[in-house]
Structure 1
Amino acid sequence: MKGTLWLAWRQQRVLVVCGAVVLVAAAALAAYFRSGMLDDLHSGLFDHCDPGPLYCARPEDGLPQFLDIEPLKLLGGLNIALPVLIGMFWGAPLLGRDRELGTHRMILAQGVSRAQWFTSRFALAAVGTVALSGTLTLLFRWWWEPAVNRSYGVFWYEASALAGSGPATVAAALFGLAVGTLAGLLTRRVLSAMAWTLLVTAAVAVLVQWTHRARLLVPPRAYVSDGWQAKPPMGDKWSTGNYGLITASGRRESVLNCPYPSGRELKECMAQHGYVARFFEANPAGDYWTFQWIDTALLGGLALGLTVLTVLLLRRRV
């Protein structure tokens, strides 16, 4: 290792070490709590639970019964916050520190081109970002596996799982790095770049969560049951909360017109109003990967676009 890559390593080695410490700590905690999760499952405490209901009830008092999943959700929360953290503490100083101190002039005066100066720094940071976010994502999935889509565990559509357990997590981390790098180039002040990075990455994270909740990019499916017979089981589907009744002409109306779960009352009400079927809207578990690949494409595309913009602005700004 020599030249600009050696200099990039010298300037980023503390961040690389910090990332390694985070990974070791996360791996140790994942191994410890996953072992406890498996012990609980093998003990028979949850043998009576049906994975379909929204929660598993304790036989003695009917209260909800869950595995110890809070530490798992905390790891998912860390993965969601990763773009902000990487953008602020890795991306913002990447070019911003040299720009603020003026040390880039000395580096460029040594015959190093702007492309070399940028490429060595950003490549090392990008590799570190992929390694950190990818490993944390794999740890989450490994820890999550015994309790995936279980009434006593974590369903695929919960924010900690949907936004913190797949390739979209890696794409989001690279997006945060790209935002911080561009902010450092434009503002020439590390603190200002960190503030802008926090604002932009947090806003995008909220927007992504909103598209999930609104099913804006992955529309739900309608599940229909003829007559007054029982609706298909919800299972691991992600309900929109939109339930209703269907007339002979196919028009959908509110479930409140016949608010009976089943039985004679429901049959009589449906006959009185001319309803021939019931429906509910939900996303099946298979849509997990649809959400993942759409988010990956969007966030990865934004990261690539911001990186290209940074390269184009280097000649004017440096």
Structure 2
Amino acid sequence: MSTMTGTGSTSSGSVRTDAGRGRGLRLSGMNWLIWRQHRAAYWTLLAATAVTVAVIVYQRQQMITYLDGYGYPGLKSGWEDEFDPGPLNSAAHLLGLLPVLIGVFLGAPLLAGDLESGTAKLVNAQSVSRVRWLATKLGVTTLVVVVSTTAVSVAFTWWWSPVKSSSYVLSWFDPSAFDSSGPVPVALSLLTVVGGVAIGMLLRRTLLSMVVTLGFAVALQVVWSHFRMSLGNVITVTSHNGVGDNSQPHVPDSANVLDQSYLTASGDLVGWGSCNGQTEQATNACLEKTQVVGWSLDYIPISQMPSMQWLGTSILLALTAGIAAFVILWGRKRLV
């Protein structure tokens, strides 16, 4: 790019030209160069973040105005009757797409564009090493992603918190809720972005890299959805009051019930559907034959949500660090 060509005769510690002094962000050297090269993508992401946060703040004010009529924060019964969960649910689903969009439109072209256009070859003509160039690209990009996703996540969590304990609005274990609050959006976005950078470095074609990154992001979401609930500590409760009405053991409000089974006198578990689908007489005979005495329920309470999110985040960040290390090591010798 012309910006890079114009800095070829400068030292590594002063890549920024005099024309750039005193304008915009007060960056210098390689940081300024990377920001200027990708400033359109960075500013677009930051501007979208500002708009999203502003909308969330407005929607929360509307929600609190409604909840005040029911004694918020100590909500009275019946507040759900006229509450509209649509904006909150829609926002959660849209925010779930954030890692995919950032990975495809920011991560994939980051190196693929330079490699496809030949700009990356200019690195060899500069006094700045490939490692520093790659590290700065990753560093500045991840910083922008962290700032943006953290702001959106904090705003959404703040919006959702007054009604978080109610499954009527948004169940905490739903992917749209779990992945749009706390540290999870930040970790998912970073992994998708850095994964997209690695894909772009290997494929060296911008459009192809974006398509493959889209596939990678979708696959990541699928794997994460199957893995998410395994982060929790499953609690088992039993009852010995038969299987009639109100015989099931008590579980906390908003708990995620993973499984329920019949409990026999010997302590064995029998699938609750094994005696269903028959006449009442046949069902009772089946229950008596298998010596069913009560229920066994497996669940995860909402109180485990923060620890599950942070555990999952640590795993995602570890994977991100591994991919980033691969990008640096591979690019040091095989970038061009």
Matched, 1:289 2:306: yes
| Structure 1 residue aligned with 2:168 | 152
Q: Which residue of 2 aligns with 1:277?
A: 294
Structure 2: tracts of 5 or more residues without a match: 1-26, 277-282
CA distances 1:9-36 after superposition (whole Å, capped 9, x unpaired): 1012112211222122112211221112
Question: How many Å separate the matches in 2 of 1:205 and 1:38?
Answer: 32
- Contact kept, 8 Å, 1:223 with 1:281, in 2: the verdict is yes
Give, in whole Å, the separation in 1 of the partners of 2:290 and 2:135.
69
Inter-CA distance 272–13: structure 2 relative to 1 (3 Å threshold):
same
Residues 1:44 and 2:61 aligned together: no
Between 1:290-299 and 1:19-28, the stretch displaced more is: 290-299
Question: AA paired with 1:316?
Answer: R
**Cα drift, residue 66 of structure 1:** 6.0
CA–CA separation in structure 1 for the residues paired with 2:120 and 2:288: 79
The separation in 2 between residues aligned to 1:254 and 1:165, in whole angstroms, is 35
- Offset, 1:38: 1.3
CA root-mean-square deviation: 2.7
Q: Sort the Cα spacing of 1:313 and 1:142 in 2 relative to 1 into closer, same or farther, 3 A.
A: same
Q: CA deviation at 1:127?
A: 0.2
Q: Secondary structure at 1:226's aligned position in 2?
A: coil
Shift of the alpha carbon at 1:317? 2.6
Q: 1:111 aligns with which of 122, 127, 137?
A: 127
Cα distance between partner residues in 2 of 1:115 and 1:66 = 58
| Counterpart for residue 134 of structure 1 | 150
Does residue 331 of structure 2 align to residue 317 of structure 1? no
1:238 corresponds to which of 256, 264, 269? 256
Give distance in 2, aligned partners of 1:66 and 1:280. Answer: 32
Residue-pair matches, total:
298
Cα separation, 2, equivalents of 1:171 and 1:159: 15
CA offset at residue 268 of structure 1?
Answer: 10
Deviation, structure 1 residue 88? 1.3
- 1:92-134 Cα distance to aligned partner (Å, 9 max, x none): 1211111111112224302221012112211110100101111
Of the three residues 207, 210, 235, the one matched with 1:221 is 235
Q: Deviations over 1:221-241 (max 9, x none)?
A: 22212323452145110012x
Q: How does 1:53-72 map to 2 (within 5 A)?
A: 65=81, 67-72=83-88
| Deviant stretches of 4+, over 6 Å | 266-272
Q: Residue 194 of structure 2 contacts residue 320 of structure 2 at CA under 8 Å; is this kept in 1?
A: yes
Distance 1:112 1:131 in 2: 27
Counting aligned pairs with the same residue, the percent is 29
